[in-house]
Amino acid sequence: MALLEVQQLRAGYGPIEVLKGISLQVDKGEIVAIIGANGAGKTTTLMTLSGIVPVRGGSILFDGQDITRLPAYQIVSRGLAQSPEGRKIFPRLTVLENLEMGAFTRNDPQGVQADIEKAYHYFPILKQRAKQAGGTLSGGEQQMLAIARALMSRPKLLLLDEPSLGLAPMIVLKIFEVIRELNRDGVAVLLVEQNARMALKLAHRGYVLETGSITMSDRAETMLNDPRVKAAYLGE
């Protein structure tokens, strides 16, 4: 059953149209990957779904409701949260305060506390760093914090933008293990990731985005073996 349905979505910045009518779907319980070259429109796609970049045309249905022109905070309240490219944590706030900021739409202190503990379960290092300022964490720890902060709104769908960017391989493996565990716990994931091979190995389905248009969609396993994907994105 569809959790997210995007139809003919158009968006951009000033006179530049970045998304030229893309359609995609994420079902409940799915991990879906979007792969493509730099500048293809992957980040713009996530920012538009989050309500940060205005929609110029098309529609976004989330959990059966039209969210096309809702403000970002209302979209978060509906159950769609993003961990953005470059982490964008609050560097002067502590780890704990960053997590609390992730729950800004909620009014259930006991539930928030339970979800902080759940975040520490996924990323134990954050519990050790709870009183440290976010800006003092390593890149990998900041990425963990960005994902954990997004989880604090209890999303039905988690948007992840380049979670492996600039991180050591061991940290990347840890983060991808957690994404798999989150999915097993019932969170659907829409993943934008430069490491196409890792993304497709993790995902159920995938889309290829090229200069603002979707040029391919299929089961992730099929895409991993597609000669065009291999040549363009897997370095083969």
DSSP string, 91-159: TTSBHHHHHHHHTTT---HHHHHHHHHHHHHH-HHHHHTTTSBGGGS-HHHHHHHHHHHHHTT--SEEE
- Could you tell me how many helices (H) and strands (E) the chain has, helices first? 10, 10
pTM of the model: 0.95
pLDDT value for 1: 84
pLDDT along the chain (236 residues), means of 10: 96 97 98 96 98 97 97 96 93 98 94 97 97 96 96 97 93 95 97 95 98 98 96 88
C-beta separation of 211 from 218 below 8 A: no
> Which domains, and CATH codes, for the chain?
2-88+141-233 (3.40.50.300)
pLDDT value for 86: 84
pLDDT value for 87: 87
Question: What pLDDT, in 10s, does the model give residues 127-139?
Answer: 999 999 999 999 9
